[in-house]
Structure 1
Amino acid sequence: MSIHCPTCFLSLVTEKYEVVGPADPVFAVAGEDVILPCSVKPNISVVDMRVEWFRPGLKDSQLVHLYENHEDRNTEQIQSYRGRTKLNHQELQRGNASLKLSSVQVSDEGLYKGFIQSKSRSDDATVNVSVEAAGRPPVITVDGFDHSGGLHLQCESEGWNPEPDLEWLDSAGVSLSSETTEIHCRVKLRHHMLETLIISNMFHSWRTSVIVIVVLSVIAGILIAVFAHKNRGKILVFLLFYIFYVNKAV
């Protein structure tokens, strides 16, 4: 005697699934939202299953998001993810268990696991998230002079992730030469770019002013010593004249 059981056959079919994720890393921008792809093949409903997102390898709590018994259960969720994760419950009916992560932070970078479990089967997929953060505009400072009278310039920019490329360019975007009078410091990271401009002539003028002040100071020191010996009462007038002359020369 044979027993006909359509529901039993349907149950066996629906239990055969595979959890798949993206083949390449997911790139996210700090401050924006990102989707961590995860779905089952074939596209069966996972509404009645357990869907868990977690960070493997963390020392403390690993839970990023948990869906179980038809609702989200995030009491054990990592504190930094509170209020930033969301599953689309309607998409769960189509086998889509992708996680939306809002207001991405640099600390969100790393590996994630999307774990889906039915009554008789479980499988997971790995998502590698890379977070890009654009830093502050570059700042150029004078680090000193060389023996030939040139300037040593230093360009700094903080807050980038990962470490960006730094380029020194002239106003036309080509490599620098010894005669360059207009310099750009450019910091680039994929689609992000910040740059700052420095006019070398300004620093040549500043260097000349420093040299003038030093020379005048030496000469003034000698004159003051001689003058003080002969005319003690006129020292104050001479000092006032010296200060006025130096300021005018600069």
Structure 2
Amino acid sequence: ALAGEDVILPCSVKPNISVVDMRVTWFYSQLVHLYEDHEDRNTDQIQSYRGRTKLNHQELQRGDASLKLSSVQVSDEGRYKCFIQSKSWSDDATVDFIVEVVGCLPVITVDGFDDSGGLRLQCESEGWNPEPDLEWRNSEGISLSSETTDTHRNTDGFSVKHTITIHHSDKIHCRVRLRHHMLEAVIISSSNMFHLWRASAILFSVVVVLSGFAAVLIAVFVHEYRGKILVFELESHVLFISQSTNSVQ
């Protein structure tokens, strides 16, 4: 059942004999619903179930003690026990109940390029219960393998995140499935993206080469400049001595 919906937890007696005069008890960890002496007695019921449980008294005549649980929550998920007891007989049955929560629409983000020029894509969706399946498909409907997967659970449910790398323009689908529920995101990778990467790679290479060339020129210039300073100082010093000598004469 989806969160927020009403659900029927089945429990019945075979053959179909009336259980109107019997005691019907539904348990989770504690009391969920009690029917006794032809009436519901829920004084000791778990607080979170107050006003959300109901037995169909007419169906009790047919041996059906199924419990209606309204506005189900993720916290309702688990194993329930239905216990039916008369003065001379008793039996019980268990019901495993799973609450489905459809999460957020998946979001595809571009995570840059790898060293080979492949475009890294990341798809993420959160708020699911139970854990959903995430798959990538290309424009032809062919399934693509995820390179990395990350799944974790918190109070809001399950979050999934998968990454993939593509090497050419295509229409990529990210689908998150939970049984018969499916949410999808689509991204179209154009050839311009890959041209941009190649242009950036070439530009980076040119910049590196130019930077190296510029560094060599600067080193040569500094060396020559320092040489000129040294020569100038030396010449000035010699000139000063000559002048001093001339003055004495």
TM class, shorter-length: 0.5 to 0.7
Counterpart mapping for 1:68-79 below 5 A: 68-79=36-47
Deviation string, structure 1 residues 15-52 (Cα, Å, up to 9, x no partner): xxxxxxxxxxxxx2222221111111222211111111
Q: Check the 8 A contact 2:118/2:167 in 1, yes or no.
A: no
Q: Percent identity?
A: 74
Distance (whole Å) between structure 2 residues aligned to residue 161 and residue 189 of structure 1: 8
How many pairs were matched up? 186
What does residue 51 of structure 1 align with? Answer: 24
Alpha-carbon distance between aligned partners in 1 of 2:104 and 2:79, rounded to the nearest angstrom? 27
Q: Distance in 2 between matches of 1:210 and 1:123?
A: 75
Q: 2:2 aligns with which of 25, 29, 51?
A: 29
State the distance in 2 between where 1:202 and 1:44 align.
71
1:165 aligns with 2:138: no
Counterpart residue number, 1:94: 62
Determine which of 162, 186, 192 is the counterpart of 1:197.
Answer: 186
For each residue in 1:84-133, what CA deviation from the matched residue of structure 2 results, as whole angstroms up to 9, or x when unmatched?
A: 11100011111110011122222222111111111222211111112222
Which protein is richer in strand relative to its size? 2
Amino acid at match of 1:67: Y
Change (3 A) 1:209 1:69: farther
In structure 1, what is the equivalent of residue 159 of structure 2? none
The answer to whether residue 120 in structure 2 is matched with residue 152 in structure 1 is: yes
TM-score (norm 2): 0.66
Moved over 6 A (4+): none
Distance 2:175 2:192 in 1: 19
**Structure 1 position 178, deviation (Å):** 3.5
Distance 1:211 1:146, change over 3 A: same
Which structure has the greater CA radius of gyration?
A: 2
SS of alignment partner, residue 158 of structure 1: strand
Q: Which runs of 5+ in 2 are unaligned?
A: 145-165, 208-213, 215-249
Native 8 Å contact 2:139 2:170 kept in 1: no
Aligned pairs for 1:99-138 within 5 A: 99-138=67-106
Aligned residue for 1:107, secondary structure, equals helix
Asked whether 1:182 is paired with 2:171, we answer yes
Work out the CA distance in 1 between the residues paired with 2:88 and 2:65: 19
Amino acid at match of 2:81: K
Deviation, 1:210, is: 10
Gaps of 5+ in 1: 1-27, 223-250
CA RMSD of aligned residues (A): 2.8
What amino acid maps onto 1:77 in structure 2?
A: Q
| Aligned-partner residue type, residue 126 of structure 1 | T
Deviation per CA, 1:33-76: give whole Å up to 9, x if none: 21111111222211111111001xx3xxx111111121111121
In 2, Cα distance between equivalents of 1:207 and 1:49: 76
Secondary structure at the residue paired with 1:193?
Answer: strand
Q: Supply the AA of the counterpart residue of 1:53.
A: W
Would you say the 8 A contact 1:140–1:154 is kept in 2? yes
> Which residue number corresponds to residue 16 of structure 1?
none
Q: Cα 1:131–1:149, aligned 2, differ >3 Å: closer, same or farther? A: same
AA paired with 1:153?
Answer: L
C-alpha distance in structure 2 between counterparts of 1:144 and 1:49, whole Å: 67
What code does the residue aligned with 2:11 have? C
Residue 117 of structure 2 contacts residue 198 of structure 2 at CA under 8 Å; is this kept in 1?
no
1:140 alignment partner, one of 83, 103, 108: 108
Which stretch has the larger CA shift, 117-126 or 90-99? 117-126
The 5-angstrom pairing of residues 11-22 of structure 1 reads: none
2:15 to 42, 48, 73: 42
The TM-score with structure 1 as length reference comes to 0.66
